[in-house]
Amino acid sequence: MASDGCMAGALRPKQGGVMVAKLRPTRPWIRRAPQRRSRLMAKDVERNPLGAVSRHLRKPPIDILGAHRVPVTEELVLRMLKAHWGGRVTPRRREQAMPRVTAELGGLVLVEALLSAACIRELALETRDAGSQVPWQVTLLTADGEQVVRPLFLDEPDAFPARVTFFLHYFDRESLLVGRTGSVPLPRLRRMPRRLASLINYRPVD
């Protein structure tokens, strides 16, 4: 005999030949699920050198619409140099700063995404050499993606679904975008469309 599919009766004889039912859980895995999930996560981390979030967890509430390489222009290089050095950029300062600038711009991508719930503060790009990189310069767009509504920084949109863009630093082929509940697959990088290039200007990290 079972109650709501959770308990079952195991008939056992007692004195006098009377059969009585002893209730026990029919789904012992319910209690073991957290431990089993932890073991599975540990195995995934061992197999994954980046320590990725387990594939057994749910995908965060974000759909990636596109991932785009940021064009490296002389204007962008100058903005980066001024952000790192400030004031006048001399040839010597430029030479000293260019390795860092090249590394940052070489792995800089702009992601366009559709959020179905709040998750911006939970996202991070797990990289091999630069640790975890949080979304930078998060911007809320109109539903058609043709106009900027307002900068979000790390705030969440007021309503969902919400179309947003954000930059990620030090991106490489082995990078994973992860959230609190799982990982998000990133599509193949493409050239920056004119629409986004005209809407979003990268602001270097000070």
| pLDDT tens per residue, range 18-71 | 554 444 443 333 333 434 433 444 444 445 544 444 444 688 999 999 999 999
Structural domains of the chain, count: 2
Whats the size of the chain, residue-wise? 206
Task: Kindly state whether residues 164 and 191 are assigned to the same domain.
Answer: yes
Task: Kindly state whether residues 22 and 66 are assigned to the same domain.
Answer: no
User: What is the C-alpha to C-alpha distance for residues 49 and 46, in angstroms, rounded to an integer?
Assistant: 7
Task: Kindly state whether residues 130 and 154 are assigned to the same domain.
Answer: yes
Domain that holds residue 161: 62-70+108-199
pTM beyond 0.85: the answer is no
Q: Are 26 and 7 in contact (CB under 8 A)?
A: yes
Those residues whose C-beta lies under 8 Å from the C-beta of residue 82, and which sit 6 or more positions away, are: 89
Task: Kindly state whether residues 174 and 120 are assigned to the same domain.
Answer: yes
Looking at residue 8, its pLDDT comes to 45
Placement of tokens 């785009």 in the chain: 68
Structure tokens at 82: 């001024």
Task: Kindly state whether residues 184 and 139 are assigned to the same domain.
Answer: yes
Answer whether residue 170 is part of any domain.
yes
In sequence order, which ranges of 3-136 are alpha helices (DSSP H)?
A: 29-47, 74-85, 91-106
